[in-house]
Amino acid sequence: MGKWIFSKKNFTYHKKQQSKYVEAKLFILRYLPNSMPKILLTGGAGFIGSHLLDFLAESKDNQIAVIDNFYKGSIKNVNHHLKNRNVSIIKGDIRNFSTLKKIGNVDEIYHLAAQSNVMGSLKDPDYSFSSNIIGTYNVLKYAESCNAKKVLFSSSREVYGNPMHLPVDENHPLNPLNLYGSTKAAGEMLCKSFAQSKNMDIRIVRITNTYGTRDIGRVIPIFFAKAAKNQDFEIFGGNQILDFIWVRDVVEGIKIVSGSGKYKKETVNLGSGKGILINDLAKLIIKLTNSKSRIIRRFSRSFEVSSYIASSNKINLRATPISKGLMLLHRELQKSG
Ligand SMILES: NC(=O)c1ccc[n+]([C@@H]2O[C@H](COP(=O)([O-])OP(=O)(O)OC[C@H]3O[C@@H](n4cnc5c(N)ncnc54)[C@H](O)[C@@H]3O)[C@@H](O)[C@H]2O)c1
């Protein structure tokens, strides 16, 4: 059976965290040859990435390396994998090509690491640009250098901007409204050019607004946190119609897209195919949590998309209805305190 080889003398623990993890540059030297699929998951300590890791680690046949710089991700999201010999958690930055090279060769890459939202791109545009564009370029260069059989890139519905029609299919023009969307569109273009010119199997998923446990800083976790304290919800606009998808459905979508030859070099929307008004979403959460929070309407913001519903014709994803997904999330949030 194959295994990772570690450089023991350089094996250091990160002191700031209770749980132990190690610095990438000191960590993996190389793989022993083996027949198990070797997978690199970038951004695996983040929200969607950690749920994807849970799925990938279910198979004892997978050897998985996670790289994450913990910019937004947390060791808490991956704590339960630290003792799994098939999973290696590497603290490292995809903006640094030499860090990626140290991981050694892998067969498959799930590239999720990114500055992952619109507000973050306004707060830190340079970081968003470098992580999402230079980082993606490095991941693709690395994939090419190790002859990876498959790469999956997590793009966003933000690449469409304000759509010309609903639902939005994958042929809709790309008109990003904000820097986050444009870095994702640029990442897609890099993927396409690598796929074309180097004949690589690179698949793109355009994910819609995702919700679930381990998420922070987005509208649904913010609403739940405010509801718990009976604080008012601030809504910008309120008439936006957006498509929200349960995180485990996104993982299912990634599993389908990466698992079938049908999606070779394809771009696929991952959405529920259903829209909900933000105002109604707020009301649903208030009702579900029995909260006294009120909804305060503010002017809409120009950098935010006003409507999106994914056309999910390319994939048969039976998405969890939002009312059920919110109930599941509420239950899980209550359990975790
Ligand atoms: N959550 C959503 O609603 C949503 C919607 C559409 C697309 N996406 C995309 O899906 C992917 C995962 O999103 P998420 O919600 O899990 O976000 P997240 O921020 O929770 O996860 C991204 C992870 O990447 C890590 N990271 C950031 N910069 C890095 C760098 N330079 N090097 C190494 N690691 C780095 C972060 O620490 C984090 O753990 C992202 O690419 C995001 O753009 C997410």
Q: Residue 154 pLDDT more than 50?
A: yes
46 Cβ below 6 A of ligand 1: yes
Q: What are phi and psi of 75, to 5 degrees?
A: -65, -25
**Nearest Cα residue to atom 41 of ligand 1:** 112
pLDDT at 324 over 90: yes
Helix axes 278-289, 322-336, angle to 10 degrees: 50
pLDDT of residue 2: 42
What average pLDDT does the segment 317-334 reach? 96
Q: How far, in Å, are 34, 111, 131, 192 from residue 142 at the CA level?
A: 20, 11, 15, 15
* DSSP 8-state assignment for residue 131: I
Q: Give the mean model confidence (pLDDT) for residues 107-112.
A: 97
φ, ψ for residue 176, nearest 5 deg: -55, 145
The band of 107, judged by pLDDT with boundaries at 50, 70 and 90, is very high
Residue 277 pLDDT class (50, 70, 90 cuts) = very high
Statement: residue 289 has pLDDT above 80: yes
37 to 208, 255, 262: CA distances (angstroms): 29, 15, 20
CA–CA separation, 75 and 82 (whole Å): 9
| Amino acid letter for position 141 | K
Atom of ligand 1 nearest to the CA of 68: 34
Ligand 1 contact via 99 beta carbon (within 6 Å): no
The string of pLDDT tens digits covering residues 172-184 is: 999 999 999 999 9
What is the structure's pLDDT at 35? 59
Residue bearing the CA closest to ligand 1, atom 34:
68
Tell me the pLDDT tens digit for each residue of 13-47. Answer: 333 343 344 444 334 433 444 556 799 999 999 99
In this prediction, residue 300 carries a pLDDT of 86
Concerning whether 211 is annotated as a catalytic residue, the answer is no
Closest C-alpha residue for ligand 1 atom 30:
93
Q: Is 88 in the pocket of ligand 1 (CB under 6 A)?
A: no
pLDDT average, residue stretch 117-124: 96
DSSP string, 14-51: -TTSSS--EEGGGSEEEEPP-SS-EEEEETTTSHHHHH
Q: What is the pLDDT of residue 85?
A: 82
- Tell me the sheet residues that pair with 297: 235
pLDDT > 60? residue 311: yes
Q: What is the mean pLDDT of the chain?
A: 89
Contact 68, 49 (CB under 8 A): yes
pLDDT of 3 strictly over 60: no
Residue 24, both tokens: 């990438």
N- to C-terminal Cα separation, the chain? 40
CA dihedral sign, ordered 258, 264, 265, 271: negative
Mutating to test ligand 1, I would choose from 27, 48, 91, 215 the residue with most ligand atoms within 8 A of its C-beta, which is 48
pLDDT at 166: 97
pLDDT at 16: 38
Q: How far apart are CA 142 and CA 107, in angstroms?
A: 11
pLDDT of res. 80: 92
Instruction: Answer whether 117 contacts ligand 1 (Cβ < 6 A).
Output: no
